[in-house]
Amino acid sequence: MHETKKPVPVRLIYDVWLNDGERTPAGTVVFLSLGDAKALIASGKAERADPLPGE
């Protein structure tokens, strides 16, 4: 099974630095790859903005 290429939305719980050291503030909904989205959710820094594909 392959990972989807479609970006998925997540809502940030904490400020994170996503693009070349640029701060993205908490509360922002960002679109990330499924792997990046799951990593941020697992670390407690983001929450699902909608159900992730396959779940």
Q: What is the pLDDT of residues 40-53, one digit of tens each?
A: 999 999 999 986 66
Q: What is the spatial distance between Cα 38 and Cα 47, in angstroms, rounded to a whole number?
A: 9
Predicted confidence at residue 55, as pLDDT, reads 63
Contacts for 2 with CB less than 8 Å, ≥ 6 apart:
none
Q: How far, CA to CA in Å, does 55 sit from each of 16, 24, 28, 33?
A: 25, 26, 23, 15
**Residue 2 pLDDT > 80, yes or no?**
no
Q: What is the pLDDT of residues 6-54, one digit of tens each?
A: 898 999 999 999 888 899 999 999 999 999 999 999 999 999 998 666 6
